[in-house]
Amino acid sequence: MGEPATEDQNTNLPGAGGAGLDDDRDEPEALQGPSVAPEHIGEPLVVLTEVDKYFGELHVLQHINLSVRKGEVVVVLGPSGSGKSTLCRAINRLETIQSGTIEIDGTRLPEEGKALANLRADVGMVFQSFNLFAHKTILENVTLGPTKVRKKSAAEAKKRGMELLKRVGVDSQAEKYPAQLSGGQQQRVAIARALAMDPKVILFDEPTSALDPEMVNEVLDVMVGLARQGMTMIVVTHEMGFARKAANRVVFMADGQIVEENDPESFFTAPQSNRAKDFLSKILTH
Protein backbone atom coordinates (compact mmCIF):
# COMPACT_ATOMS: atom_id res chain seq x y z
CA MET A 1 0.00 0.00 0.00
CA GLY A 2 2.55 2.57 -1.05
CA GLU A 3 0.02 4.97 -2.52
CA PRO A 4 -3.44 6.10 -1.58
CA ALA A 5 -5.83 3.18 -1.36
CA THR A 6 -8.33 2.64 -4.10
CA GLU A 7 -11.45 0.55 -4.13
CA ASP A 8 -9.56 -2.10 -6.03
CA GLN A 9 -6.99 -2.41 -3.31
CA ASN A 10 -9.74 -2.86 -0.80
CA THR A 11 -11.14 -5.87 -2.57
CA ASN A 12 -8.00 -7.81 -1.72
CA LEU A 13 -7.85 -6.98 1.92
CA PRO A 14 -7.56 -10.11 4.02
CA GLY A 15 -4.44 -12.12 4.35
CA ALA A 16 -0.96 -11.31 3.21
CA GLY A 17 0.05 -7.79 2.36
CA GLY A 18 -1.88 -6.18 5.22
CA ALA A 19 -0.58 -2.83 6.27
CA GLY A 20 0.94 -4.09 9.53
CA LEU A 21 -0.64 -1.26 11.40
CA ASP A 22 1.15 -1.64 14.67
CA ASP A 23 4.52 -1.12 13.12
CA ASP A 24 4.91 2.14 11.29
CA ARG A 25 8.64 2.09 10.90
CA ASP A 26 8.78 0.43 7.51
CA GLU A 27 6.00 2.50 6.05
CA PRO A 28 6.73 4.80 3.15
CA GLU A 29 6.43 8.48 3.90
CA ALA A 30 3.24 8.77 1.93
CA LEU A 31 1.39 6.58 4.41
CA GLN A 32 2.25 8.68 7.41
CA GLY A 33 0.07 11.42 8.74
CA PRO A 34 -3.54 12.29 8.20
CA SER A 35 -5.63 10.39 5.70
CA VAL A 36 -7.04 13.44 4.03
CA ALA A 37 -5.03 16.53 3.31
CA PRO A 38 -6.41 19.39 5.43
CA GLU A 39 -7.54 21.31 2.34
CA HIS A 40 -9.84 18.41 1.46
CA ILE A 41 -11.60 18.59 4.75
CA GLY A 42 -14.94 20.27 4.33
CA GLU A 43 -17.57 21.97 6.41
CA PRO A 44 -18.61 20.92 9.88
CA LEU A 45 -20.73 17.76 9.65
CA VAL A 46 -21.20 16.64 13.23
CA VAL A 47 -21.40 19.50 15.70
CA LEU A 48 -21.88 19.05 19.43
CA THR A 49 -22.41 22.22 21.43
CA GLU A 50 -22.35 22.28 25.23
CA VAL A 51 -23.67 18.74 25.46
CA ASP A 52 -24.49 17.43 28.93
CA LYS A 53 -25.62 13.92 29.74
CA TYR A 54 -26.36 12.39 33.11
CA PHE A 55 -26.97 8.83 34.21
CA GLY A 56 -28.73 9.63 37.47
CA GLU A 57 -26.17 11.52 39.54
CA LEU A 58 -23.31 10.68 37.19
CA HIS A 59 -22.44 13.58 34.88
CA VAL A 60 -21.20 11.36 32.09
CA LEU A 61 -20.80 13.98 29.32
CA GLN A 62 -19.80 17.41 30.60
CA HIS A 63 -20.11 20.48 28.39
CA ILE A 64 -18.90 18.64 25.32
CA ASN A 65 -18.01 20.86 22.37
CA LEU A 66 -16.84 18.96 19.33
CA SER A 67 -17.01 19.71 15.64
CA VAL A 68 -16.12 17.04 13.09
CA ARG A 69 -15.78 18.21 9.52
CA LYS A 70 -16.62 16.39 6.32
CA GLY A 71 -13.84 13.98 5.44
CA GLU A 72 -12.25 14.23 8.84
CA VAL A 73 -11.19 11.20 10.88
CA VAL A 74 -11.31 11.77 14.62
CA VAL A 75 -9.99 9.18 17.05
CA VAL A 76 -11.48 9.32 20.54
CA LEU A 77 -9.24 8.02 23.29
CA GLY A 78 -9.60 7.85 27.03
CA PRO A 79 -9.73 5.61 30.06
CA SER A 80 -12.54 3.16 30.69
CA GLY A 81 -15.66 4.94 31.89
CA SER A 82 -14.64 8.33 30.50
CA GLY A 83 -17.76 8.53 28.31
CA LYS A 84 -16.51 7.53 24.86
CA SER A 85 -19.30 5.06 24.11
CA THR A 86 -21.89 7.41 25.54
CA LEU A 87 -20.60 10.13 23.25
CA CYS A 88 -21.05 7.87 20.19
CA ARG A 89 -24.45 6.73 21.35
CA ALA A 90 -25.57 10.31 21.90
CA ILE A 91 -24.51 11.27 18.36
CA ASN A 92 -26.65 8.42 17.06
CA ARG A 93 -29.42 9.33 19.51
CA LEU A 94 -29.27 5.89 21.10
CA GLU A 95 -28.93 7.97 24.27
CA THR A 96 -30.77 11.17 24.99
CA ILE A 97 -28.92 14.21 26.26
CA GLN A 98 -30.11 16.60 28.95
CA SER A 99 -28.83 19.83 27.47
CA GLY A 100 -26.88 21.22 24.57
CA THR A 101 -27.34 20.44 20.89
CA ILE A 102 -26.13 17.86 18.40
CA GLU A 103 -26.34 18.71 14.71
CA ILE A 104 -25.71 16.40 11.78
CA ASP A 105 -25.03 18.23 8.53
CA GLY A 106 -26.80 21.34 9.74
CA THR A 107 -29.88 19.57 11.13
CA ARG A 108 -30.44 19.29 14.83
CA LEU A 109 -31.08 15.72 15.98
CA PRO A 110 -34.85 15.24 16.11
CA GLU A 111 -36.40 13.89 19.29
CA GLU A 112 -38.17 10.94 17.69
CA GLY A 113 -40.25 9.65 14.82
CA LYS A 114 -39.55 9.48 11.13
CA ALA A 115 -37.25 12.47 11.10
CA LEU A 116 -35.07 10.76 13.68
CA ALA A 117 -35.04 7.50 11.71
CA ASN A 118 -33.95 9.38 8.61
CA LEU A 119 -31.23 11.29 10.33
CA ARG A 120 -30.04 8.20 12.15
CA ALA A 121 -29.68 6.45 8.80
CA ASP A 122 -27.09 9.11 7.93
CA VAL A 123 -25.00 8.06 10.91
CA GLY A 124 -23.54 4.59 10.55
CA MET A 125 -22.41 2.74 13.62
CA VAL A 126 -20.01 -0.16 14.02
CA PHE A 127 -19.87 -1.72 17.48
CA GLN A 128 -17.33 -3.84 19.27
CA SER A 129 -19.66 -6.83 19.14
CA PHE A 130 -20.53 -6.78 15.41
CA ASN A 131 -24.30 -6.97 16.10
CA LEU A 132 -25.14 -8.79 12.88
CA PHE A 133 -28.55 -10.42 12.57
CA ALA A 134 -27.79 -14.07 13.38
CA HIS A 135 -30.66 -15.53 11.38
CA LYS A 136 -30.02 -13.59 8.22
CA THR A 137 -27.34 -14.31 5.65
CA ILE A 138 -24.38 -11.99 5.22
CA LEU A 139 -25.94 -10.49 2.10
CA GLU A 140 -29.32 -10.07 3.82
CA ASN A 141 -27.59 -8.29 6.68
CA VAL A 142 -26.23 -5.76 4.22
CA THR A 143 -29.42 -5.30 2.16
CA LEU A 144 -31.97 -5.06 4.97
CA GLY A 145 -31.41 -1.39 5.84
CA PRO A 146 -31.28 -0.14 2.25
CA THR A 147 -34.55 -1.89 1.34
CA LYS A 148 -36.44 -1.11 4.56
CA VAL A 149 -35.16 2.38 5.40
CA ARG A 150 -33.76 3.74 2.15
CA LYS A 151 -36.53 2.09 0.06
CA LYS A 152 -34.15 0.69 -2.51
CA SER A 153 -35.37 -2.14 -4.73
CA ALA A 154 -34.22 -5.63 -3.76
CA ALA A 155 -32.18 -5.93 -6.96
CA GLU A 156 -30.46 -2.59 -6.45
CA ALA A 157 -29.73 -3.34 -2.78
CA LYS A 158 -28.31 -6.73 -3.70
CA LYS A 159 -26.06 -5.32 -6.41
CA ARG A 160 -24.69 -2.64 -4.10
CA GLY A 161 -24.49 -5.13 -1.22
CA MET A 162 -22.31 -7.47 -3.26
CA GLU A 163 -20.09 -4.58 -4.32
CA LEU A 164 -19.60 -3.58 -0.71
CA LEU A 165 -18.95 -7.14 0.45
CA LYS A 166 -16.33 -7.34 -2.27
CA ARG A 167 -14.84 -4.07 -1.17
CA VAL A 168 -14.33 -5.42 2.37
CA GLY A 169 -13.17 -8.79 1.05
CA VAL A 170 -16.03 -11.08 2.13
CA ASP A 171 -18.12 -11.41 -1.04
CA SER A 172 -17.42 -15.15 -1.15
CA GLN A 173 -19.27 -15.47 2.17
CA ALA A 174 -22.47 -13.74 1.02
CA GLU A 175 -24.79 -16.72 1.44
CA LYS A 176 -23.41 -17.80 4.81
CA TYR A 177 -24.72 -16.88 8.26
CA PRO A 178 -22.74 -14.72 10.70
CA ALA A 179 -21.81 -17.61 13.01
CA GLN A 180 -20.02 -19.28 10.09
CA LEU A 181 -17.61 -16.35 9.72
CA SER A 182 -14.56 -15.37 11.76
CA GLY A 183 -14.77 -12.32 13.99
CA GLY A 184 -12.70 -10.28 11.57
CA GLN A 185 -14.96 -11.25 8.68
CA GLN A 186 -18.07 -10.44 10.71
CA GLN A 187 -16.73 -7.03 11.60
CA ARG A 188 -15.96 -6.34 7.94
CA VAL A 189 -19.56 -7.30 7.14
CA ALA A 190 -20.69 -4.85 9.83
CA ILE A 191 -18.68 -2.13 8.08
CA ALA A 192 -20.22 -3.07 4.72
CA ARG A 193 -23.65 -2.94 6.33
CA ALA A 194 -22.96 0.55 7.63
CA LEU A 195 -21.70 1.66 4.20
CA ALA A 196 -24.78 0.24 2.48
CA MET A 197 -26.86 3.03 4.00
CA ASP A 198 -24.65 5.68 2.36
CA PRO A 199 -24.05 7.32 5.73
CA LYS A 200 -22.60 10.81 6.03
CA VAL A 201 -20.48 9.72 8.98
CA ILE A 202 -19.62 6.38 10.56
CA LEU A 203 -19.05 5.97 14.28
CA PHE A 204 -16.83 3.09 15.33
CA ASP A 205 -16.87 2.06 18.99
CA GLU A 206 -13.82 -0.11 19.68
CA PRO A 207 -14.33 -2.09 16.47
CA THR A 208 -11.31 -4.32 16.99
CA SER A 209 -11.41 -4.88 20.76
CA ALA A 210 -13.34 -8.14 20.56
CA LEU A 211 -11.16 -9.63 17.83
CA ASP A 212 -8.39 -12.16 18.07
CA PRO A 213 -5.11 -10.31 17.48
CA GLU A 214 -4.49 -11.83 14.05
CA MET A 215 -7.78 -10.37 12.80
CA VAL A 216 -7.27 -6.83 13.98
CA ASN A 217 -5.32 -5.64 10.96
CA GLU A 218 -7.77 -6.93 8.37
CA VAL A 219 -10.44 -4.72 9.95
CA LEU A 220 -8.13 -1.75 10.47
CA ASP A 221 -7.03 -2.00 6.83
CA VAL A 222 -10.63 -1.61 5.71
CA MET A 223 -10.99 1.40 8.00
CA VAL A 224 -7.78 3.01 6.74
CA GLY A 225 -9.10 2.51 3.20
CA LEU A 226 -12.34 4.27 4.09
CA ALA A 227 -10.46 7.11 5.69
CA ARG A 228 -8.34 7.61 2.62
CA GLN A 229 -11.42 7.69 0.44
CA GLY A 230 -12.69 10.63 2.46
CA MET A 231 -15.29 9.01 4.73
CA THR A 232 -16.03 11.06 7.81
CA MET A 233 -15.26 8.86 10.79
CA ILE A 234 -15.36 9.08 14.57
CA VAL A 235 -13.42 6.15 15.93
CA VAL A 236 -13.11 5.07 19.55
CA THR A 237 -10.01 2.91 19.57
CA HIS A 238 -6.77 2.39 21.41
CA GLU A 239 -5.07 1.30 18.20
CA MET A 240 -2.39 3.93 17.94
CA GLY A 241 -1.19 2.60 14.61
CA PHE A 242 -4.58 3.45 13.18
CA ALA A 243 -4.62 6.85 14.85
CA ARG A 244 -1.19 7.71 13.52
CA LYS A 245 -1.96 6.46 10.05
CA ALA A 246 -5.50 7.62 9.48
CA ALA A 247 -6.59 10.21 12.02
CA ASN A 248 -6.59 13.94 11.46
CA ARG A 249 -7.20 14.54 15.13
CA VAL A 250 -7.13 12.76 18.46
CA VAL A 251 -9.67 13.73 21.10
CA PHE A 252 -8.76 12.64 24.61
CA MET A 253 -11.58 12.22 27.12
CA ALA A 254 -11.46 11.72 30.87
CA ASP A 255 -14.29 11.85 33.41
CA GLY A 256 -16.85 12.95 30.86
CA GLN A 257 -14.82 15.85 29.53
CA ILE A 258 -12.72 16.49 26.47
CA VAL A 259 -9.42 17.17 28.16
CA GLU A 260 -7.20 17.59 25.15
CA GLU A 261 -7.25 17.44 21.35
CA ASN A 262 -4.39 17.51 18.92
CA ASP A 263 -3.03 15.95 15.77
CA PRO A 264 -2.02 12.33 16.45
CA GLU A 265 1.72 12.85 16.30
CA SER A 266 1.65 15.75 18.74
CA PHE A 267 -0.75 13.98 21.04
CA PHE A 268 1.26 10.78 21.25
CA THR A 269 4.68 12.39 21.47
CA ALA A 270 3.84 15.44 23.57
CA PRO A 271 0.60 15.06 25.54
CA GLN A 272 -0.17 18.22 27.46
CA SER A 273 -2.32 17.19 30.41
CA ASN A 274 -1.29 14.93 33.27
CA ARG A 275 -4.29 12.73 32.62
CA ALA A 276 -3.29 12.17 29.01
CA LYS A 277 0.32 11.51 30.02
CA ASP A 278 -0.83 9.02 32.63
CA PHE A 279 -3.19 7.31 30.17
CA LEU A 280 -0.55 7.03 27.47
CA SER A 281 2.05 5.68 29.87
CA LYS A 282 -0.39 2.90 30.73
CA ILE A 283 -1.36 1.92 27.22
CA LEU A 284 2.19 2.21 25.92
CA THR A 285 3.57 -0.19 28.49
CA HIS A 286 1.08 -2.92 27.53
Ligand X SMILES: Nc1ncnc2c1ncn2[C@@H]1O[C@H](COP(=O)(O)OP(=O)(O)OP(=O)(O)O)[C@@H](O)[C@H]1O
| Binding flag, residue 143, ligand X (CB under 6 A) | no
The DSSP secondary-structure symbol of 14 reads S
Among 10, 85, 185, 232, binds Mg ion (CB under 5 A): 85
Shortest distance, position 9 Cβ to Mg ion, whole Å: 31
Binding mask 10-49 for ligand X (x = CB under 6 A): ----------------------------------------
Which of 15, 29, 57, 80 binds ligand X (CB under 6 A)? It is 80
93 binds ligand X (CB under 6 A): no
The partner in contact with residue 270, picked from Mg ion, ligand X, none with C-beta cut-offs of 5 to 8 angstroms by kind, is none
Which residues, numbered 175-214, are part of the site for ligand X (CB under 6 A)?
Answer: none
Q: Which is nearer to ligand X, 78 or 225 (CB)?
A: 78
In angstroms, the first-to-last Cα distance of the chain is 28
Listed in sequence order, the residues at least 6 apart from 235 whose beta carbon sits closer than 8 Å to its beta carbon are 73, 74, 75, 76, 203, 204, 207, 223, 242, 247
Nearest to 104 by CA among 123, 87, 79, 85: 123
Smallest gap, in angstroms, from Cβ of residue 78 to Mg ion? Answer: 9
- The nearer residue to ligand X, 37 or 283, going by C-beta atoms, is 283
Minimum distance from CB of 158 to ligand X (Å)?
35
Would you count residue 83 as binding ligand X (CB under 6 A)?
yes
86 binds, among Mg ion, ligand X, none (CB under 5 to 8 A by kind): ligand X
d(CA 144, CA 164): 14
Residues 145/197, Cβ–Cβ less than 8 Å:
yes
DSSP characters over 234-278: EEE---HHHHHHH-SEEEEEETTEEEEEE-HHHHHHS--SHHHHH
Asked whether the CA dihedral 65, 237, 1, 199 is positive or negative, the reply is negative
CA dist 165 and 158 (Å) reads 10
Which listed option, Mg ion, ligand X, none, makes contact with residue 269 (CB within 5 to 8 Å by class)? Answer: none
The DSSP secondary-structure symbol of 55 reads E
Look at residue 190 and give the partner it binds from ligand X, Mg ion, none, a contact being a CB closer than 5 to 8 Å depending on partner kind. Answer: none
Q: Which amino acid is at 21?
A: L
| 86 contributes a contact to ligand X by CB under 6 A | yes
The count of residues interacting with ligand X (CB under 6 A) is 11
State which of residues 34, 78, 169, 241 lies at the interface with ligand X (CB under 6 A): 78
CB 191 → Mg ion: shortest distance, Å? 18
What distance in Å separates the CA atoms of residue 190 and residue 193, rounded to the nearest whole number?
5
Q: Strand, coil or helix: what is 7?
A: helix
Pick the closer one to Mg ion by CB: 127 or 267: 127
Return residues touching ligand X (CB under 6 A): 55, 58, 60, 78, 80-86
Return residues touching Mg ion (CB under 5 A): 85
